[in-house]
Chain A
C-alpha cells in the first residue's frame, strides 16, 4: 500500500491553528470532511471516537509524531490526512515530548487488514529520521504531497 492511496492532499493542514490535542484532531477531521472524505454531519461523532481512543492510550509514539486513528462505522472509505505545528502540541506522548507532525487515519470498521496495512506504511515512514525531518520542514501542502510521493517511490 502507498501513502497517496489514502492520504487526501486537499485535507492536509500545513500550519495547524489548534494548540491542543483535541483541537488538532477536530481541525484535521473537519479538513477531511471539507475535502469530501467523510460527511460533515459525522465530524462530531468521529472526533469523539478519536479522542476516546487517545484517552485509552496515546498515539503519540514518540519522536514528535502522533498517529490518531479510529475504525468507525461512519467511514466508508479509508482516508487520512497530515497536520503540522511548529509550536508543538502536548499529545501525552510516550516519550513526554511535544508532537510536531500528526498523521490522522480514519478506517471503516469492517476492514481490519486494510487498516493494518495503512498503519504499516505510515509507521515505516515515520520511523525514518529523514522522513520525520523533511515532514517537519515542509511548510506547504505541495511540499508535503511531494514528500509523500517521494516516500511512495522509495526515495
Chain B
C-alpha cells in the first residue's frame, strides 16, 4: 500500500478547535486511506484522522507542528487535500 506524509504547522489563531477538527475528519473520511495525525512539540501524541474526539484531544494550538500520514491507495491525494485545509487556515482568517 502506498503511504504519504506531510509536515505542517497549525497557523490559524484559534488552533485545531472543534469546527476545524470536524472539517478535517469530514475530508479525511472522503478517502479510503487510513489517516493518522502526529503531534510533535512538547507533548507528542497521535490521533486517528477520522475521529473527531481524537483530533480534538490533540489540542493543537497555533504554532504546533503536525505530521499528516495516510496509508492506502489514495494516500498522496488524501495528504495533499488535508494539508491544504491547514494552509487555508480552515477558512478562518484572511
Residues of A within 8 A of B (CB): 56-57, 59, 61-62, 67, 69, 71, 94, 112-113, 115-117, 119-120, 123-124, 126-127
Contacts and interface: CB of A to CB of B under 8 A. Distances in A.
A-side binding surface: helix, strand, loop or mixed?
helix
Interface stretch (B1-9, B16-24, B65-73, B81-89): B16-24
A126 B19 contact: no
A116 B16 CA distance: 8
B60 interface: yes
Contacts of B27: none
Contacts of B16: 116
Given A61-B52, A123-B53, A116 B60 contact: yes
B22 to A, nearest CB: 6
A123 B57 contact: yes
B59 A119 contact: yes
A120 B17 contact: no
B15 interface: yes
A120 B15 contact: no
B56 A120 contact: yes
